[in-house]
Amino acid sequence: MLVVSVTPGADAGAVQAALVARGLWVQRLEAGGRVQFVVEPCSRAVARDAILALPGVEAAFAAAPAHPRMDAQPAQVVVAGVAIGGGAPPVVMAGPCSVESEAQIEAAAARVAAAGAGFLRGGAFKPRTSPYAFQGHGERALGWMRRAADRHGLRVVTEVMSAEAGPLVAEHADLLQIGSRNMQNFALLAAAARLGRPVLLKRGMAATVEEWLLAGEYLLVHGAPAVILCERGVRGFDPSTRNLLDLGAVALLAGVHRVPVIVDPSHAVGRRDLIVPLARAALAVGAAGLLVETHADAGHALSDGPQALDPDEMSALMSALGSKQHG
């Protein structure tokens, strides 16, 4: 981002008009009697020399980037041999919300692999709104999921909820998920990053894109080898859908920031009948892949049943996307 300083005593309004006339969108900053204009990224590309040549311009320099590591991360990252983003085929991460039993996750892995997904998802440690709700089977579930994934050639993505459980989760997962509710739990971000695994960072339910990128920066600063973002809907005003899927943010992150973004239509809408159209829309705006919940008996699911596709619907989704995933 470019910052333009106005020469002391010069007509700042005239400088602003000259910048705007050249197609730049600027934001005026004033401090200690000095005026500066921050050039917004959506501006037309104008050479720095041309800006310096304008009357009343003292200097034009690049502002220190807020999240240099996120900016420098390549558009494509590789997780356990699977390329994500940067033109790679869309990656699908699918499985139940919660790992409920060994038999359940084995059956889910078989169906997910047969449908052509690349990753098995499932919660072992569950962040539940109510303390009376099912909290996950913890360590046992991690073992069940890892073995099921290995039997079917899948990678594992699962949530890390606490620093204490981190090493155990990292032992079983290829990709560590940071849940929405923890996006700005900075101590957890640092601890998760130190585990040395790539991280899937879900967007906080009221987080701006900038806050989300800065949370990603925390992960990279503390040693995470790669960060993939996951848009899962933000809090909206309308209860017709569980959350509000922000595809504009996905387009911005994928197309402008060049960060790999996975879209989770399941948590975004909270109802299975809207998963397929939103999955298609997500890929159309540049998502690197999808995170989708699926359950063989959604009516009895221990969490998030209403948004889970049954295995046949999951296979139909994959056919609709026309993609076979990495095995």
Q: Point out which residues bind ligand PEP (CB under 6 A).
A: 97, 123, 127, 179-181, 202, 232, 267
In whole angstroms, how close is the CB of 231 to ligand PEP at the nearest point? 9
Give whichever of 231 and 304 is closer to Mn ion, judged by the CB atom.
304
| Residue 146 interacts with, from Mn ion, ligand PEP, none (CB under 5-8 Å by kind) | none
Q: Which residue has the tokens 């909270």?
A: 270
Q: Residue with structure tokens 């579930």?
A: 141
Q: Which is nearer to Mn ion, 58 or 310 (CB)?
A: 310
Least separation in angstroms between residue 297's CB and ligand PEP is 17
Structure tokens at 155: 């990678």
What is each CA distance from 49 to 4, 52, 60, 286, in whole angstroms? 12, 5, 9, 34
CB of 34 to ligand PEP, least distance (A): 44
Tell me how long the chain is. 327
**65 CB-near residues (< 8 Å, 6+ apart):** 1, 71
Q: CA angle, 159 as apex, 193 and 172 as ends, to 5°?
A: 80
Nearest CB to ligand PEP, comparing residues 24 and 188: 188
* Nearest CB to ligand PEP, comparing residues 152 and 203: 203
* Position with the least CB separation from ligand PEP: 179
- Give the nearest distance from C-beta 311 to ligand PEP in angstroms: 18
User: Which of Mn ion, ligand PEP, none does residue 118 bind (CB under 5 to 8 Å by kind)?
Assistant: none
| Binding footprint of Mn ion, residue count (CB under 5 A) | 2
Residue 264 within binding range of Mn ion, rule CB under 5 A: no
Instruction: Pick one of Mn ion, ligand PEP, none as the site partner of residue 202 (Cβ within 5 to 8 A by kind).
Output: ligand PEP
**Closer residue to ligand PEP in complex, CB, 97/250:** 97
Alpha helices in the chain, H assignment, sequence order: 12-21, 48-52, 68-72, 102-115, 139-151, 166-172, 186-193, 209-221, 247-252, 265-269, 275-284, 311-321
Determine the Cα–Cα distance for residues 107 and 94; give it in Å rounded to an integer. 12
179 binds, among Mn ion, ligand PEP, none (CB under 5 to 8 A by kind): ligand PEP
Q: Enumerate residues 6+ apart whose C-beta is below 8 A from 147.
A: 106
CB of 39 to Mn ion, least distance (A): 41
Residues in 270-309 at the binding interface with Mn ion, rule: CB under 5 A: 304
Determine the residue with CB nearest Mn ion.
97
Q: Of 23, 4, 30, 2, whose CA–CA distance to 15 is shortest?
A: 4
CB of 22 to ligand PEP, least distance (A): 42
In this complex, which beta carbon is closest to Mn ion, that of residue 304 or of residue 313?
A: 304
Apex 229 CA angle, 310 and 1, nearest 5:
150
